[in-house]
Amino acid sequence: MRIVLKRLGYGTLAILGVMLLFIVISFTNHTIKLKSELSILSPPGAMVNVNNHQMHVYTEGSGSQTLVFLSGGGTSAPVLDFKALYSRLSEQYKIAVVEKAGYGFSETAKVSRDIDTILEETRTALTLAGQNPPYVLFPHSMSGIEALYWAQRYPTEVKAIIGLDPAIPEVYEAYPLPSGGMMSLTGLGARMGITRFFPGIVDSSAAIKENHLSPQEEELYRALFYKNTQTSNMNDEVNRIKQNATKVATQGIPDVPMYFFISNGEELPLENWQTYLIRYIESVKKGQYQVLDGGHYIHNTDPDRIAEESVLFINEL
């Protein structure tokens, strides 16, 4: 019996030793790669100081109307993720992509992710980057909550909302969110560089999979992915999203024109995703919607259709 226990003990120690060695190798490799990738991590837009941390705002195009793109939760590289859509609109409009704390080229910072702080940081970043309202907001996924709150708090600043499969408050009454422990564990794995051993994860990102990026942009996307996977700011957003959504829900539906582009819902863990969004948009005074047969990153799966419809919608405002 003692021999068996000893063997089990030695076996467990051996497994733990191998795991520890793997973690050390992974972290060392990750640290080296991060340093080498710094050479290509040059922000293409303006870096502005907001709330004592640096935020990145990318702008291009011209025109009298500014379109503001707000990324979904956990999107590592918003500027590249939205490129397929905004590049089809920037000949007619000014576009601005705001990268929140912990996203893209912006710093990961010790700032609360309550809805008021998120919104005020977005507004301040745009002002410091030289942009002025009113804006047409293009929120993806979780940022739908921020866009609705913006229209509630500052209606004169929001000319319209064009939602890219946007979340609305009611979805978070049933949406199965990951636990804090699970997010901490996967976030730690990302910090240790374990995601680098699974390149298929980043290569399955819609912007890369749909071939919207050049080889150089794909390399940059991967570098930002390994730098920004599940940052503390992203995790805090998830932890606070139900509270934020409830606050937005209590203030009703804002009186601004809206057009929702709704995905097939197949990539989301909520069976009635389409029903929630359609019910909401049908309650909007000037609301339109279109259901497209594409995934959740719908601006990458059908950018031509969305760009065409967005131009028609904006021209009618």
pLDDT single digits (tens) 264-279: 988 888 889 999 999 9
* Mean pLDDT, range 162-168, rounded to an integer: 98
Judge whether residue 183 has pLDDT over 90. Answer: no
Element (H, E) at 61: strand 53-61
* Mean pLDDT, range 75-82, rounded to an integer: 96
Say how far apart CA 131 and CA 123 lie, in whole Å: 9
Comparison of pLDDT for 29 and 155, the residue scoring more: 155
Residue spans of alpha helices (H) in the chain = 2-37, 78-81, 83-86, 115-128, 143-153, 180-191, 200-203, 206-209, 215-228, 232-249, 273-281, 298-301, 303-315
Are the C-beta atoms of residues 54 and 107 closer than 8 Å to each other? yes
Q: Which two tokens stand for residue 125?
A: 């970043």
* Mean pLDDT, range 25-36, rounded to an integer: 76
Predicted confidence (pLDDT) per residue in 100-155, tens digit = 999 999 999 999 999 999 999 999 999 999 999 999 999 999 999 999 999 999 99
3-state secondary structure of 224: helix
Name beta bridge partners: 49.
54
| The predicted structure's pLDDT at residue 80 | 97
Predicted confidence (pLDDT) per residue in 226-285, tens digit = 888 889 999 999 999 999 999 999 999 999 999 999 999 888 888 899 999 999 999 999
pTM value is: 0.91
Are the C-beta atoms of residues 121 and 50 closer than 8 Å to each other? yes
User: What is the Cα Rg of the chain in Å?
Assistant: 21
Beta strands across the sheet bearing 287-291:
46-50, 53-61, 94-99, 66-70, 135-139, 158-164, 258-262, 287-291
Say how far apart CA 44 and CA 53 lie, in whole Å: 18
Predicted confidence (pLDDT) per residue in 35-55, tens digit = 877 788 899 999 999 999 999
Judge whether residue 9 has pLDDT over 80. Answer: no
| CB contact set of 138 (below 8 Å; sequence gap of 6+) | 67, 68, 69, 70, 82, 85, 162, 163, 164, 299, 310
Give residue 15's Cα distance to chain centre: 37
Q: How far apart are the first and last CA of the chain?
A: 81
Give residue 93's Cα distance to chain centre: 22
3-state secondary structure of 257: coil
Say how far apart CA 152 and CA 157 lie, in whole Å: 10
| The predicted structure's pLDDT at residue 50 | 97
| The predicted structure's pLDDT at residue 4 | 44
Q: Which two tokens stand for residue 218?
A: 């794909």
Pairing of strands 46-50, 66-70: unpaired
Q: What is the DSSP letter of 112?
A: -
* Residue 291 φ then ψ, to 5°: -95, 125
pLDDT confidence band for 2 (50 / 70 / 90) = low
11-30 b/e (C-beta count within 10 Å ≥ 16 → b): eeeeeeeeeeeeeeebeeeb
| The predicted structure's pLDDT at residue 10 | 60
Pairing of strands 135-139, 66-70: parallel
* Mean pLDDT, range 74-97, rounded to an integer: 96
| The predicted structure's pLDDT at residue 283 | 96
Judge whether residue 174 has pLDDT over 50. Answer: yes
Comparison of pLDDT for 300 and 196, the residue scoring more: 300
* Residue 260 φ then ψ, to 5°: -105, 130
Name beta bridge partners: 59.
96
Judge whether residue 222 has pLDDT over 70. Answer: yes
Identity of the residue numbered 131? Q
| The predicted structure's pLDDT at residue 5 | 43
Are the C-beta atoms of residues 272 and 173 closer than 8 Å to each other? no
3-state secondary structure of 173: helix
